[in-house]
Homo-oligomer: A and B are copies of this chain.
């Protein structure tokens, strides 16, 4: 087994805890964790079904950034697992949690380590690397978690930036449902990426393990004129960038969704 190097350099969230850092600019992502809490607890209580509970229970967060949104998620997961296995049927006095915090190799893990809550009840470790590749030993992972990370693609589909292609996205940073060719080009890339992610986890996870994947999505029936949701923000951002590009030179009118 040799670790794969990514085709493109993958970008980390902004480091540190300054005004432009991810720490200071991800309250929305923190809200996602809070919203998902009851569902994660319910799924662990009803669907996690590890018959031979080991002493060591491994959890990994794929796309942890500097950790401040990861720590509360890990707390939710460990408390729910403790709650489940502290039932009278199974004694789990010696259950130890190992938590692997994963993000790309350029991620600011030092800030994550220095931000670790002082009262954690698990062994913390950082695993650097692209989560579309293998990162952990086979059959070692009991719970895989990822929030607000899987939507980042490993590459921009070439055709959407090619003005001669039917998939050309006309310099916009968002693709709408009525541009089926553009949608399909992005969808193809997403399918490749999510397949790589799932294939890697399939080797790493124990067979009775559980995954919680929180991914932003557009509602099936979304009217951008009357409803405000994730793409509304991105449309606004795209519009600002196009305006800026018209006023000054050397500002790209297309930003990629490569992480």
In the bound complex, CA of A56 to CA of B98 (Å):
15
- Identical subunits present: 2
* Residue-wise interface mask of A (165-177) relative to B, using a CB-CB cutoff of 8 A (1 in contact, 0 not): 0000000000000
Q: How far is the CB of A207 from chain B (nearest CB, A)?
A: 15
B-binding segment of A108-116, A152-160, A213-221, A224-232: A108-116
Within 8 A of B (CB), among A124-161: 124-129, 134-140
Contact partner of A116 among B94, B114, B128, CB < 8 A?
B128
Q: Is the CB of A121 within 8 A of B2?
A: yes
Q: A100 at the A/B interface (Cβ < 8 Å)?
A: yes
Q: A89 at the A/B interface (Cβ < 8 Å)?
A: no
Chain B residues lying within 8 Å of A121, measured Cβ to Cβ, are 1-2
Chain B residues lying within 8 Å of A246, measured Cβ to Cβ, are none
Q: How far is the CB of A32 from chain B (nearest CB, A)?
A: 26
What 6 A-B pairs have minimum CB-CB distances, sorted nearest first? A56-B137, A113-B128, A125-B125, A126-B126, A96-B137, A125-B127
Q: Which residues of A contact B (CB under 8 A)?
A: 1-3, 5, 55-56, 94, 96, 98, 100, 105-106, 108-110, 113-114, 116, 118-121, 123-129, 134-140
